[in-house]
Structures are given as C-alpha cells and as structure tokens.
C-alpha cells in the first residue's frame, strides 16, 4: 500500500525539527531538503483575525524514509516532530488516527 504523509498544520509550531532530522538522517547539506517548512502569513484576514501558520511540505527527495519504514520505524520527520502533527501511513491507517475532514490538514502521497 502507498504510504502518505499527513500534516495537521493547525498544530505545527514552525520549529524546523522535521527539516533538521531529515537532513541528518539522509546526509543532506543545509541547503537541501527532504521536507521543507513553509510559512503562511502573517496575514490580516479581518480587523481581529490573522492567519499565521506553518506547513511542512515533502520535496521530491522525500521517500518517506523507506529504509526506516522497512525496519519498522516511522519516517524521521514523524518521529522527531515536536508538535506531534506529522503522520505517515496508508490512507486507511491515517483515517483511523486523525480526522481527515479537518480544515487544516494536508495529505501528501
């Protein structure tokens, strides 16, 4: 079954731990990424509402840590996520863990 990466970005704090863990796991230079944190905002939506969020996005270098998963371990970004907002699994497995109907959820296949 195809492994997907889910990001519940309502809770991502923008700490960059996923990026650093991935770079160290795969021996990537500081300018190369397997997962890259993107920032949305700060953007003033209304007088009293702002949008300021972070969304980790896997790059084409990301293989969902196939070697780690073959050994029964989660992808390094999932394991080291400080906010616990990254999940990996099949669509069926992810549906059991998280609410796929959430407004601030991104799925990457």
Q: Cα dihedral sign for 61, 62, 66, 72? A: positive
Residue 85 in contact with residue 106, Cβ under 8 Å? no
Instruction: Give the per-residue pLDDT at 101.
Output: 77
pTM across the whole model: 0.89
Measured CA to CA in angstroms, residue 2 lies from 15, 27, 51, 104 at distances of 28, 25, 32, 22
Instruction: Give the per-residue pLDDT at 99.
Output: 81
For residue range 1-21, list pLDDT tens digits in order: 678 999 999 999 999 999 999
Instruction: Give the per-residue pLDDT at 14.
Output: 96
For residue range 22-67, list pLDDT tens digits in order: 999 999 999 999 999 999 999 999 999 999 999 999 999 999 999 9
Instruction: Give the per-residue pLDDT at 109.
Output: 87
For residue range 51-109, list pLDDT tens digits in order: 999 999 999 999 999 999 999 999 999 999 999 999 999 989 998 888 877 889 999 98
- DSSP letter for 21, please: H
Identify the CA nearest to 36 among candidates 48, 21, 47: 21
Residues 6+ apart with CB under 8 A from 27: none
Cis peptide before 99 (omega within 30 of 0): no
């Amino acid at each position: 079954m195809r492994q997907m990466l889910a990001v519940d970005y309502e809770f991502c704090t923008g700490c960059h731990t996923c990026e650093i863990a991935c770079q160290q796991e795969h021996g990537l230079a500081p300018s190369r990424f397997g997962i890259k944190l993107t920032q949305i905002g700060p953007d003033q939506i209304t007088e009293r509402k702002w949008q300021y969020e972070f969304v980790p996005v896997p790059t084409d270098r990301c293989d969902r840590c196939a070697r780690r998963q073959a050994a029964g371990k989660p992808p390094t970004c999932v394991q080291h996520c400080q906010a616990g907002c990254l999940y990996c699994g099949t669509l069926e497995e992810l549906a059991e863990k998280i609410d796929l109907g959430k407004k601030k959820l991104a799925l990457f296949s």
